[in-house]
A and B are shown apart, each in its own frame.
Chain A
Amino acid sequence: QKEVEQNSGPLSVPEGAIASLNCTYSDRVSQSFFWYRQYSGKSPELIMSIYSNGDKEDGRFTAQLNKASQYVSLLIRDSQPSDSATYLCAVNIAGGGADGLTFGKGTHLIIQP
């Protein structure tokens, strides 16, 4: 059974600080990892993708992957009130005949002005 686990929050972070979102997954052969942002009442939108161990940076966002620990994280630097949303972690298995991406239940992030 594939599982993706996230702390549901809410995670409250002061404006300008670094927000750190974490995700663990159960399947050791997972190859592709994604972070989606979802505003209330809206559809998920892709923020970051990461495929190999280490860090990947895109503007204020950094994704970190550690396959040995089955752990992927998202850092948001200089947090803004507009970053307040639910962040979904999604994981797939390379070559699997199954089920598309498996999503975590999401972490609700609140940036306090």
Chain B
Amino acid sequence: NAGVTQTPKFQVLKTGQSMTLQCAQDMNHNSMYWYRQDPGMGLRLIYYSASEGTTDKGEVPNGYNVSRLNKREFSLRLESAAPSQTSVYFCASSLDKDEKLFFGSGTQLSVL
């Protein structure tokens, strides 16, 4: 039982490049989330999916897109990376929206 798995663990991009962060959970959870964590800013919600087939913006959605591919998988895409998107990204899931979250191990992203 792996829990929440996200890939990659580390990534370096040049400004303007695109990439997709992958996330999968095997806990049969309905809700999935993408957060970013920056020093002094705490965890901030980028996008979430309350259930399969739905996605909604969080606190800081600009510059990102998401896809809830199926119940297990929720991806985050940066279409044109900017240095301001340098951060640690966490995927999380919960049985239902706003219940206790289980986090993946994180992705350290640097945009040069």
- Taking beta carbons and an 8 Å cutoff, which residues of A are in contact with B? 32, 34, 36, 42-46, 49, 88, 90, 92-94, 96, 99-106
Contacts and interface: CB of A to CB of B under 8 A. Distances in A.
Contact of A43 (B31, B90, B97): B90
Interface in B97-112: 97-106
B48 A100 contact: yes
Contacts of A93: 98
Contacts, number: 52
Interface stretch (B38-46, B67-75, B77-85): B38-46
B99 to A, nearest CB: 7
A44 B33 CA distance: 14
Of A36, A88, A101, A102, the most chain B CB neighbours within 10 A belong to: A101
Q: Which 8 A-B pairs have the closest CB atoms?
A: A105-B42, A92-B98, A43-B103, A103-B43, A100-B48, A100-B45, A99-B58, A43-B106
Contacts of B35: 103
Interface of B: 31, 33, 35, 40-45, 48, 58-59, 90, 97-106
30 contacts: A32-B99, A34-B100, A42-B106, A43-B103, A43-B105, A43-B106, A44-B43, A44-B90, A44-B101, A45-B103, A46-B100, A46-B101, A46-B102, A88-B42, A92-B98, A93-B98, A99-B48, A100-B33, A100-B45, A100-B48, A100-B97, A100-B98, A101-B45, A101-B101, A102-B45, A103-B35, A103-B42, A105-B40, A105-B41, A106-B42
